């Protein structure tokens, strides 16, 4: 076997191994691997060199796509009609955490609560202050459970310096009489 043939054989073997690992990861639920498997299929189809593993994978996925399309036609219009299709292709990502947990107004109040905590206010005093301030500034109620949730969801604010916390709640500070 010549050196060039050996190199081609090694590359072919490495490519098949990569395909096999990619398909395994895809079927285990790895969305990125699912997209890579689809890219591998497209490339192999274009070049006319579809391996047996990719051909089997592609046939299975196309059957699943057909079933998913039938299922999506039966879904009510307000639902995600393409969720079954993404699941069939194994490219659906898990929902994970939202980019922002709370709205901007909640961050303002949580930052103010942290400033009060640093001034040795008790948790009950902080809750009462936030309820009064929300009513005064935004003319909205703020029940104690919601206050507790906002403060709890913003615990990472505790690592921020006072100056940054001030900047987060600038709109509230003058109305609260905070100096």
Q: What is the pLDDT of residues 96-130, one digit of tens each?
A: 544 444 566 788 888 888 899 999 999 889 888 88
Residues 40-62 have a mean pLDDT of 80
Does the pLDDT at position 50 exceed 90? Answer: no
pTM for this entry: 0.43
Lowest mean pLDDT among 56-60, 88-92, 155-159: 88-92
Give the residue from 111, 107, 137 showing the smallest Cα distance to 126: 111
CA distances, 81 to each of 84, 89, 94, 96 (Å): 7, 14, 16, 20
Quote the distance between the C-alpha of residue 70 and its chain's center.
Answer: 28
What distance separates the 2 farthest-apart alpha carbons in the chain?
A: 86
Q: For 138-173, how does the pLDDT look when each residue is reduced to its tens digit (9 = 90+)? A: 888 887 788 888 888 777 778 888 887 888 887 777
Q: For 131-141, how does the pLDDT look when each residue is reduced to its tens digit (9 = 90+)? A: 888 888 888 88
What's the confidence (pLDDT) of residue 44? 78
What's the confidence (pLDDT) of residue 101? 44
């Amino acid at each position: 076997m010549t050196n060039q043939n050996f190199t081609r054989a090694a590359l072919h073997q490495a490519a098949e191994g990569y395909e096999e690992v990619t398909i395994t990861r895809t079927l285990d639920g790895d969305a990125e691997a699912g997209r890579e498997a689809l890219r591998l299929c497209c490339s192999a189809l274009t070049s006319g060199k579809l391996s047996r593993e990719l051909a089997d994978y592609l046939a299975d996925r196309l059957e699943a796509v057909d079933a998913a399309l039938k299922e999506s036609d039966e879904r009510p219009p307000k639902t995600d009609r393409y969720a079954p299709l993404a699941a069939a292709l194994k490219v659906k990502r898990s929902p994970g955490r939202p980019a922002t947990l709370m709205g901007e107004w909640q961050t303002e109040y949580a930052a103010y609560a942290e400033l009060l905590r640093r001034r040795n206010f008790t948790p009950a005093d902080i809750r009462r202050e936030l309820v009064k301030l929300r009513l005064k500034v935004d003319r909205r109620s703020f029940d104690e459970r919601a206050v507790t949730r906002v403060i709890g969801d913003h615990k990472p604010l505790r690592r921020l310096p006072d100056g940054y916390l001030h900047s987060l709640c600038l709109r509230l500070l003058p109305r609260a009489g905070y100096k």
